[in-house]
Structure 1
Amino acid sequence: MRKTRFGATMAATAVIALALTACGDGEADQDAESQVSTKDSVSWMTMLHTATTPETDGVIETALEEHTGLTIEFQWVPDASRDEKINAALASDSLADIVSLTSINNTTVRQAMSQGQFWDVEEYLAEFPNLAEIPETTIDVARVDGGLYGVPYQKPQARYGVLVRQDWLDNLGLEVPHTIEDLTEVAKAFTENDPDGNGVADTVGFYDREESYGVGFRSLAGYFGAGQYFTVTEDDEVVPSFTTDEFKDAMEWYRGVYENGWVNQEFVTVQKQVQKDGIAQGKGGIVVSGLFEAKNFQEAARAADPNTPQDWALINDMTFEDVPRRILTDTNGGMGGWLAIPKSSVETEADLKVVLGFINDLMDEEAFDLMTNGVEGTHYELDADGVVTILDEAVWEQEVQPFGSSRPSEVVKAFKSSNPLTNQANELMEENAEFMVSNPAQALTSETYNAQWSLIDQQVMDAYNQYITGQIDMAGFEAVVDSLRGQGVDAVIEELTAAYAETQG
């Protein structure tokens, strides 16, 4: 196991060279000493996507410390409360050395970046071998107001698709759907035709959650032709997707699904973990999610009942009428947020380079392996064909899985798995890149967006929930959108359109 710290070693080497060239100049010597980093630990506020927090000083944390040469203090933040926690930390400036900022449209985050609360790291990336390899396309979409205020998380460009219970399809004699029209019929059958064969009407088609507007439904709306958050019109105007006919057509269709009872009726209050539990318990048979989740759903179901037959069809080529095949990126074209470094916590350039060296080291294959699979012989075994087999799923979920979402890059290496769903998901996610639709406004600047969009989007989400559940009609939804035009929407459109025009020359 490599124990040297690239970043810290480079910083120290630069300091020694500076000191040697000072030639006895006391002021230069003193300046050189001020650039020496004594930093031997790093604190990290990062998101937790699992139900349990890994043990402090556990086997993975210890192994990562050995690999990077730094003591690590993880500050785990449940993903469900990330915006609340991050906003509070930003307001109080009580931040760790590294802050995982994965809510890229959070206006508080973007304001903090624009106001210089974090280091602009772009000029330093070339000093570190792994950071230097971050694609320029990822860097481009990660800039805010021209600055790169954190190391961008690297992810597959488009991970989403539609997951459908294959065993339920088989039980009902149905084919795997590849169009919205056929998917609708499957949702109806899964709700009304007893797909699990238990004689009880206890299943639905779609099983959605409270983040429907921004996650599951948004992906479905993409099949109708809606854009990812924003759309460029034929007149080169950059408009929010929720103002477009395609988005509203998707809403009308999904409202029909809700009215017929083909989606769980309480979805607006269902949290992510509750959704996963419900799926594992066989409450629903269609999930719009990351293709990689199929394996997790299957294993959760088998952990609850080893005899469960749960199997999944993974679909990445869903289409609607004559709309060409497309898939909205769920990772902003491969950028999943930033590993941001606050100036208040990391005060000197020398310390900054230590932290960047730490992030660089986490992108080594050895660290990636630790955060993905765990320790060989303890959490997994590797056969002669390079296939990874998890030895104890419960132990892996407790000790390893929480670290997966914190990997600075998810594209370091693709492991073969003993679970065919994992291998299929990896293949389909790679295929998705050809049909990926990104957010055209991601790299554009709008002061009004930075200041007001979170509040605007929250109101639109509330109206979406009210419309789908029948509390208001489409005229009511459009009235909410119209009321927001004078509260920032029109200004955002004007500013983004002007910024877009500049990029077109």
Structure 2
Amino acid sequence: MRNHSRLGIAVASVAIASLALTACGASDAPANSNEGSSGEVTAPESITWMAMLHTPTTPEADGPIATALAEYTGTEINFQWVPDASKDEKINAALASDSLADITSLSNTTNTSVRQALKSGQFWDVEPYLKDYENLSKIDEKTIASARVDGHLYGVPVQKPIARYGVLVRQDWLDNLGLETPHTIEELSEVAVAFATQDPDGNGQNDTTGFIDRLESFKLGFKTLAGYFGAGNNFVVEDDKVIPTFQTDEFKEAMEWYRGLYEQGAINGEFVTMQKQNQQDAIAQGKGGIIVTGLFEAKNYMNLATSADPNTPMAWALINDITFEDVPRRIISDTNGGFGGWLAMSTSEVKDEAELKGILAFIDKLLDEEAFALMTNGIEDEHYTIDADGVVTISDQPKWEQEVQPYNSSRPSDIVTTFKSSTPYVDEGNEKMAENAEFAVVDPSAPLSSDAFDQSWSTIQQAANDAYNKYMVGQLDMAGYEDAIEKLDGQGLDTIIEELSASYAENN
């Protein structure tokens, strides 16, 4: 692993010298193409990349990771960073004005504007080319199947673990209250109420709750919890009919349970408006002891807490086997078969096939272990060290967070390799995410086609989200929620169900 991870100037120089990646180059390629005289395809000298930013700070354009990636790939990358909180607004505006980059990270796969743009010819269909690249040709077929829209692959699929979510519970709070680690919904309920009522941090104040949730509850946190009740992943197939999960009995049963916890103060009262950063801060500050999130996040909460107070007693239980009554063990796939979005190439910016092949060569290079290590750990001896057993230790956490962490979410794949880590919870999180794969529930609608879905789903999903929020805070009862959902039929939901069901019948 040491040889793969060290990325000094010497390694980078060798990498540049051996950049060429064999692809399907024609011998009569035009003079301005990225194909050499022998038919090799090389990455372009520079590209623009509209990428999502999941961290509070933006890395410097000439920072160490950008520089090292340029040295390794032979391509200068001009990142156009888009804060994740405003990604839909920014992407929608870029699509409407056709002011896209060479590569655009499209992470919201159900965004109506995105799906319409994919089908309208704004992005290249890359599937015919993937077979000609060493790394791109190895993308799992299940991931590709989830990434197709109307039978076409309008971007390189971002590869993710198939199911990353679980429940994180403050282990030190459990110990303080003499409670066992919960593994059922009933036990989780007891813990949530205890955290809200029994002073788990022992400070004599009534200042803690159970769950810390945020405004994406309907799409992420609660969605995962509803899965334990037997609810599906966005859609389910019942009697050959494809219907949204928010219409099902299992989802509504989970809603009733969750609202009961909310009414007992076991969920933060402001969750329907809480941003992700505020959620992270609340957890780090010890305001709540349960969070439904990626199992990889435990280390991040620990880092946030210890940055504020090195003597924090925080400890976490990582739980991936919550069950409910007689429902078999299951976990909602947050990446739907290991698919986390597209790296899409604009047809207006990427002018011809030769230019496209060059950019694919660049992405293929990012899938090498060397580039993956750069975007994951940074530069050896500058951001991390690695011992004889291959254990990676971040040597300067604030420096890593500033210079390296922003690139994590731009990796074309999260599964190139797994590094052993000295950071608490990293190895355990990786192991539990791997276990999840066996029990993952995917979205059956992903490979299906519906024009009404592409045109209306974002609006309909938001209306259902609003009804969920109103129910949760007591502005609607269950009858009011059901009435709000029923009204969506007249806004296009009935057509979506009809078209998805027809597409399902055709494909099955």
**TM-score bucket of the superposed structures, by smaller chain:** over 0.9
Which residue number corresponds to residue 121 of structure 1? Answer: 126
The letter of the residue matching 2:250 is E
Q: Contact 2:154–2:342 (CA<8 Å) still a contact in 1?
A: yes
Match of 1:88 among 88, 93, 96: 93
Q: Contact 2:34–2:44 (CA<8 Å) still a contact in 1?
A: no
- CA gap of 1:344–1:253, structure 2 versus 1, over 3 A, is same
Q: Distance in 2 between matches of 1:452 and 1:5?
A: 49
The letter of the residue matching 1:76 is W
Which residue number corresponds to residue 149 of structure 1? Answer: 154
Question: After the TM superposition, which parts of structure 1 deviate over 6 Å for at least 4 consecutive aligned residues?
Answer: 5-8
Q: Write out aligned runs for 1:219-368 (5 A).
A: 219-233=224-238, 235-368=239-372
CA drift of 1:39 comes to 4.1
CA drift of 1:158 comes to 0.1
Which residue number corresponds to residue 371 of structure 1? Answer: 375
Which residue number corresponds to residue 61 of structure 1? Answer: 66
Which residue number corresponds to residue 408 of structure 1? Answer: 412
CA drift of 1:419 comes to 2.2
CA drift of 1:465 comes to 0.5
Which residue number corresponds to residue 28 of structure 1? Answer: none
Q: Deviations over 1:284-327 (max 9, x none)?
A: 00000000001110111011000001010000000111111000
Q: Distance in 2 between matches of 1:7 and 1:444?
A: 38
Q: Distance in 1 between matches of 2:125 and 2:322?
A: 40
Q: Contact 2:378–2:384 (CA<8 Å) still a contact in 1?
A: yes
Q: Distance in 2 between matches of 1:79 and 1:250?
A: 28
CA drift of 1:136 comes to 1.0
2:16 alignment partner, SS class: coil
CA drift of 1:8 comes to 6.2
Q: Contact 2:106–2:114 (CA<8 Å) still a contact in 1?
A: yes
The letter of the residue matching 2:118 is M
Q: Which blocks of at least 5 consecutive residues in structure 2 are unaligned?
A: 1-10, 36-42
2:489 alignment partner, SS class: helix
2:131 alignment partner, SS class: helix
CA drift of 1:459 comes to 0.6
- CA gap of 1:36–1:58, structure 2 versus 1, over 3 A, is closer
2:425 alignment partner, SS class: helix
CA drift of 1:503 comes to 1.6
Q: Contact 1:5–1:68 (CA<8 Å) still a contact in 2?
A: no
Q: Distance in 2 between matches of 1:162 and 1:6?
A: 45
Residue 457 in structure 1 maps to residue 476 in structure 2: no
- CA gap of 1:9–1:253, structure 2 versus 1, over 3 A, is closer
Residue 423 in structure 1 maps to residue 421 in structure 2: no
Q: Please give the TM-score of this superposition, normalised by the length of structure 2.
A: 0.94
CA drift of 1:33 comes to 2.6
Q: Deviations over 1:306-354 (max 9, x none)?
A: 0001010000000111111000000011000000000011011111111
Residue 204 in structure 1 maps to residue 202 in structure 2: no
Q: Please give the TM-score of this superposition, normalised by the length of structure 1.
A: 0.95
Q: Distance in 2 between matches of 1:10 and 1:319?
A: 48
Q: Distance in 2 between matches of 1:278 and 1:169?
A: 18
Which residue number corresponds to residue 4 of structure 2? Answer: none
Residue 3 in structure 1 maps to residue 3 in structure 2: no
The letter of the residue matching 1:4 is I
CA drift of 1:498 comes to 0.9
- CA gap of 1:290–1:139, structure 2 versus 1, over 3 A, is same
Match of 2:77 among 66, 72, 78: 72
Which residue number corresponds to residue 33 of structure 1? Answer: 31
Q: Distance in 1 between matches of 2:503 and 2:87?
A: 30
Q: Contact 2:214–2:271 (CA<8 Å) still a contact in 1?
A: yes
Q: Deviations over 1:432-451 (max 9, x none)?
A: 00000000000100110000
Q: Contact 1:162–1:289 (CA<8 Å) still a contact in 2?
A: yes
Q: Contact 1:6–1:128 (CA<8 Å) still a contact in 2?
A: no
The letter of the residue matching 2:148 is R
Which residue number corresponds to residue 194 of structure 2? Answer: 189
Q: Deviations over 1:95-116 (max 9, x none)?
A: 0000000000001101101111
The letter of the residue matching 2:216 is E
Which residue number corresponds to residue 436 of structure 1? Answer: 440
Q: Deviations over 1:147-204 (max 9, x none)?
A: 1000000000000000000000000000000001010000011010000000001100
Q: Distance in 2 between matches of 1:335 and 1:179?
A: 28
1:72 alignment partner, SS class: strand
Q: Which blocks of at least 5 consecutive residues in structure 1 are unaligned?
A: 20-31
2:290 alignment partner, SS class: strand
1:33 alignment partner, SS class: coil
Which residue number corresponds to residue 164 of structure 1? Answer: 169
Q: Distance in 1 between matches of 2:376 and 2:492?
A: 42
Q: Distance in 1 between matches of 2:438 and 2:199?
A: 37
Q: Deviations over 1:106-156 (max 9, x none)?
A: 011011011111000001101110001101111111100111000000000
- CA gap of 1:488–1:381, structure 2 versus 1, over 3 A, is same
Q: Deviations over 1:18-68 (max 9, x none)?
A: 26xxxxxxxxxxxx3354579410110010111111111100000000011
The letter of the residue matching 1:77 is V
- CA gap of 1:338–1:5, structure 2 versus 1, over 3 A, is farther
Which residue number corresponds to residue 24 of structure 1? Answer: none
Which residue number corresponds to residue 448 of structure 1? Answer: 452
Q: Contact 2:19–2:73 (CA<8 Å) still a contact in 1?
A: no
Q: Contact 1:7–1:128 (CA<8 Å) still a contact in 2?
A: no
Residue 18 in structure 1 maps to residue 22 in structure 2: no
1:3 alignment partner, SS class: helix
Q: Contact 1:374–1:400 (CA<8 Å) still a contact in 2?
A: yes
2:292 alignment partner, SS class: strand
Q: Distance in 2 between matches of 1:341 and 1:395?
A: 32
Q: Contact 2:192–2:266 (CA<8 Å) still a contact in 1?
A: yes
CA drift of 1:266 comes to 0.5
2:392 alignment partner, SS class: strand
Q: Distance in 2 between matches of 1:331 and 1:58?
A: 30
Q: Distance in 2 between matches of 1:33 and 1:48?
A: 37
Q: Distance in 2 between matches of 1:451 and 1:67?
A: 41
Q: Distance in 2 between matches of 1:282 and 1:501?
A: 50
Which residue number corresponds to residue 493 of structure 1? Answer: 497
Q: Contact 2:19–2:74 (CA<8 Å) still a contact in 1?
A: no
2:149 alignment partner, SS class: coil
For the aligned residue pairs, the C-alpha RMSD in angstroms reads 1.4
Q: Contact 1:7–1:356 (CA<8 Å) still a contact in 2?
A: no
Q: Distance in 1 between matches of 2:165 and 2:28?
A: 50
Q: Contact 1:6–1:361 (CA<8 Å) still a contact in 2?
A: no
Q: Distance in 1 between matches of 2:151 and 2:350?
A: 22
